[in-house]
């Protein structure tokens, strides 16, 4: 009989500990990332950051940082002959109306694209390679509506 009571107490302790770890994991986020749950609204003339997987709203159109398709940029503290390039893909919409917008960090490739009645420009992508955890990518963008 005493054994059954001990088993029950251990189970309660384990369930409590597991619940605490789950809550702590849900509450944590990488440093420098704000999470309000609401999609931010970006206005014309705004420069804004977007984390991998994060979305913003430009007028009636949403924009999501989908992936870094390529990252051949020169790592920090290394001297390179070529600057390299990161090709970043953003998406708008879903299903049949899905639009992919690839932008680049190198000026030799498209850094700007027509989007939502204006121009979307990729200003930078952090961190420099090696990124380590790709979820830490942060794109700096600028949106300017057409006059």
Which pLDDT score, from 0 to 100, does residue 21 have? 36
Which pLDDT score, from 0 to 100, does residue 20 have? 36
Which pLDDT score, from 0 to 100, does residue 80 have? 84
Give the pLDDT band of residue 26 (cuts 50, 70, 90): very low
- Between these two residues, 120 and 129, which has the higher pLDDT value? 120
Which pLDDT score, from 0 to 100, does residue 14 have? 45
Which pLDDT score, from 0 to 100, does residue 134 have? 66
Give the pLDDT band of residue 1 (cuts 50, 70, 90): low
Query: Could you read off the pLDDT of 60-97 as tens digits, one per residue?
Result: 899 999 999 999 998 877 888 888 999 999 999 866 78
What would the 3-class secondary structure string for the chain be? CHHHHHHHHHHHHHHHHHHHHHHHHHHCCCCCCCCCCCCEECCCCCEEEEECCCEEEECCEEEEEEEEEEECCCCCCCCCCCCCCEEEEEEECCHHHCEEEEEECCCCCCCEEEECCEEEEEEEEECCCCCCCHHHCEEEEEEEECC
Q: Tell me what the mean pLDDT of segment 85-111 comes to.
A: 91
């Amino acid at each position: 009989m005493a054994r059954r009571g001990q088993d029950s107490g251990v189970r309660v302790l384990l369930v409590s500990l597991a619940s605490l770890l789950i809550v702590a994991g849900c509450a944590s986020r990488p440093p420098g990332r704000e999470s309000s749950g609401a999609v931010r609204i970006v206005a014309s003339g705004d420069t804004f950051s977007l984390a991998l997987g994060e979305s913003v709203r430009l007028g009636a159109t949403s924009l999501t940082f989908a992936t870094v398709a390529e990252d051949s940029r020169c790592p920090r503290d290394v001297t390179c002959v070529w600057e390299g390039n990161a090709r970043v893909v953003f998406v708008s919409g879903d299903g049949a109306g899905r639009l992919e917008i690839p932008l680049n960090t190198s000026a030799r490739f498209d850094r700007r694209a027509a989007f939502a009645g204006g121009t979307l420009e990729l200003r930078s992508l952090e961190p420099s390679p090696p990124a380590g955890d790709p979820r830490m990518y942060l794109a700096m963008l600028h949106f300017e509506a057409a006059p």
